[in-house]
Amino acid sequence: MRLILLGAPGAGKGTQAAFITERFGIPQISTGDMLRAAVKAGTPLGQQAQKIMEAGALVPDDIMLGVVRERLSAPDCAKGFLLDGFPRTIAQAEGLAKAGIGIDVVLEFDVPDADIIQRLSGRRVHPASGRTYHLTFNPPKTPGLDDLTGEPLVQRADDQEETVRKRLEVYHAQTLPLVKFYAERQGQPGAPRLVTISGVGPVAEVQQRIFDALQA
Ligand code: AP5
Ligand code: ZN
């Protein structure tokens, strides 16, 4: 299964990716997680990405395409993969296709903007694994600590309300056009199937909708 998760910031891509990758035995390739790891490690990519991410803008397409192409050439991607947060511009989608990287399904999460701010302001993450919690909607077993490692949870630098609004703007302007891009290609040879699910409701219900749509 070669899958793309498409959805606004806070739509639940990372949360649901954990269930999907477990079910299908495929790696999760989160460009956001990869960039945050690069920032933390202080690599040249991280140094370039840090300010862009904190401003809620997008890292340039050619850089992201290079990062993703390299990751997809690793042996663990041979039997499939889940792309979380990529592509997020038309140029990135075209770059994937030009590189001959086929996709089976594009799964779009539909969540109203009104829910997004609430979700992101209550989000807490375990930086080492990318595991994600919410103070109200998906709390850890022990407040402030990761369920599996017991390590502290933190708030993401780009989850300030002002940055979230900017990220939403960028999503509408640059990423949402991808839905039309894939819709127009439905039925063409080699084009992925576009599936839209509602991302509203309890995490387990959203998971069931996804598994039904993927017939998993
Ligand atoms: P990235 O890390 O990809 O962030 P994003 O797309 O903004 O998405 P999020 O990670 O914020 O949300 P999510 O959909 O994963 O939601 P989650 O499951 O955590 O990118 C960050 C930045 O990196 C970008 O802004 C950009 O600068 C750069 N970047 C990354 N990729 C790039 C690319 N391809 N090109 C250029 N730049 C790139 O859930 C959110 C919260 O809601 C959690 O607290 C969760 O517990 C809760 N929640 C989840 N599901 C539910 C539910 N059903 N009900 C209630 N709460 C829920
Ligand atoms: Zn995410």
Sequence-ordered list of residues with C-beta below 8 angstroms from that of 138, at least 6 positions apart, any chain: 15, 132, 203
Whether the model pTM is above 0.90:
yes
Contact 114, 8 (CB under 8 A): no
Positions of the chain with pLDDT under 50: none
C-alpha distances (whole Å) from 184 to each of 140, 160, 191, 194, 214 are 41, 35, 10, 10, 21
Contact 12 CB / ligand 1 (< 6 Å): yes
pLDDT at 63: 96
Neighbours of 31 (CB within 10 A): 20
Q: 32 CB less than 6 Å from ligand 1?
A: yes
Q: Which residue, judged by its Cα, is nearest atom 48 of ligand 1? A: 12
What pLDDT sits at residue 166? 96
Nearest to 10 by CA among 86, 115, 166, 104: 115
Q: Tell me how far the alpha carbon of residue 36 lies from the centroid of ligand 1, in angstroms.
A: 12
Q: What is the pLDDT of residue 50?
A: 96
Q: Where are the domains of the chain?
A: 2-214
Residue 67 Cβ contacting ligand 1 at under 6 Å: no
Residue identified by tokens 């460009």 is 31
What value of ipTM does the predicted structure carry?
A: 0.97
Q: Which residues pair with 105 in a beta bridge?
A: 3, 193
pLDDT of residue 11: 97
Collapsed DSSP state (helix, strand, coil) of residue 142: coil
Pocket mutation for ligand 1, best pick of 4, 15, 136 (most atoms within 8 Å of C-beta): 15
CB contact set of 113 (below 8 Å; sequence gap of 6+) = 8, 168
Question: Which residue blocks in 56-127 are alpha helix, DSSP H?
Answer: 61-72, 90-98, 113-121
Task: Give the residue from 111, 123, 122, 127 showing the smallest Cα distance to 32.
Answer: 127
What's the CA-to-centroid distance between 10 and ligand 1, angstroms?
A: 5
Instruction: Quote the pLDDT of residue 108.
Output: 98
The matching CATH number, chosen from 3.40.50.300, 3.40.50.12160, 3.40.720.10, 2.40.30.10, for 2-214 is: 3.40.50.300
**Predicted pLDDT of residue 130:** 87
